[in-house]
Amino acid sequence: MQSLNTAQLNFGNESLLILNFALAIIMFGVALGISLNDFKELAKNPKAVILGVVSQFLLLPLCTFLLVLILKPEPSIALGMILVAACPGGNISNFMTHLAKGNSALSISLTAIASVSAILMTPLNFQFYASQYAPTAELLKSININPSDLLDILILILGIPLILGMWLRHQNEKLAKQLSNLLKPLSIIIFLLFVILAIAKNVDVFTQYIHHVLTIGIVHNLMALLLGFLLAKLFALSVRDRRCLSIETGIQNSGLGLVIVFSFFADLGGMAIMVAFWGIWHVVSGLGLALHWSKT
């Protein structure tokens, strides 16, 4: 029986290209709903925006690292946790915030800022925290990652779709809104489909090891949701802002995480299982929480 840390995954170059293209289309759809005016929310509501960025890019990776130190999971699972925490907010966070009666304008602004910031912050956070934990640092030594290759993927999946989507909205707002309304509901379906595709191509590995990540993944996601909410409450933000920060921190772009895993870490089965489980579970937990808040 192969070790969880050395379980090799099969995804194939063609499937990986489809995954990259699908995620770029999703991000393009998200960008269609973003305008330069959304960045002005920083001036109108600076405290909430700053706290949202701090929660997502500083506190979540730090708290995830502390959780790794406490739980001491398998090194490949720990790498998956660190990678998820280093990714920007998920593409469905705007929809969930709206459903939860949260601050949708703040959610859109945080999505815009996070998408731009992630091009640098995702590799920095991942590399920093993965190198601080001895077992994950050892795994990284066995994998030759060219930072420029990782940056290329982030620019391709996040940077270019963001620029094109915002440009189209600026040129033809009516068309952009129509495309955005079409792509938004499809984003959840597309995301779940390529998570299912990843699992289907590696069903033996997933069924053999999924029990290793169930509790850890749920605890990790619960921590992220609570982190955003409690930080907002600590700084006396409104109820709508608290709900927004909770969802923005707890809903991560695990699709981007899967692209990174299959591009650079195909020999680490535990890492992919952790990221894929988060991708499914955060939809369940996020929608459940949003539906609960929608009734209050």
Q: Using one digit for the tens of pLDDT, what is the confidence trace for 87-98?
A: 988 778 888 998
CA 168/CA 114 separation, integer angstroms: 20
**Residue 85: which pLDDT band, with cuts at 50, 70 and 90?**
very high
Predicted confidence (pLDDT) per residue in 22-58, tens digit = 777 777 877 787 776 666 666 777 899 999 999 999 9
* Angle, CA of 100, 162 and 92, to the nearest 5°: 20
| Residue 276 tokens, joined | 């894929």
pLDDT at residue 1 is higher than 60: no
Task: Identify the CA nearest to 188 among candidates 294, 29, 20.
Answer: 29
- Residues with Cβ within 8 Å of 164's Cβ and at least 6 positions away in sequence, in order, are 28, 31
Q: What is the mean pLDDT of residues 2-15?
A: 59
Question: According to CATH, what is the number of the domain 13-294?
Answer: 1.20.1530.20
Measure the CA dihedral 38/39/45/49, to 10°: 110
Q: Rounded to 5 degrees, what are φ and ψ at 144?
A: -90, 105
Out of 99-113, 120-134, 160-174, 179-193, least confident range: 179-193
Domain boundaries, the chain: 13-294
Of the chain, the percentage scoring pLDDT greater than 90 comes to 34
Instruction: Write the single-letter amino acid at 39.
Output: F
Task: State residue 28's pLDDT score.
Answer: 82
Amino acid letter at 104? Answer: S
Distance CA 207, CA 201 (A): 12
pLDDT in tens, 186-244: 766 766 676 677 677 777 777 777 788 899 999 999 999 999 999 999 999 999 999 99
Query: Which residue is associated with the tokens 């601050």?
Result: 103
Q: If you count them, how many residues does the chain have?
A: 296
Give just the sign of the alpha carbon dihedral 16, 159, 143, 203.
Answer: negative
Average pLDDT over residues 169-183: 82
User: How does the average pLDDT of the chain come out, rounded?
Assistant: 83
Q: Model pTM?
A: 0.86
> What integer pLDDT is reported at residue 15 of this predicted model?
64
Tokens 């790498």 appear where? Answer: 79
- Identity (one letter) of the amino acid at 84? V
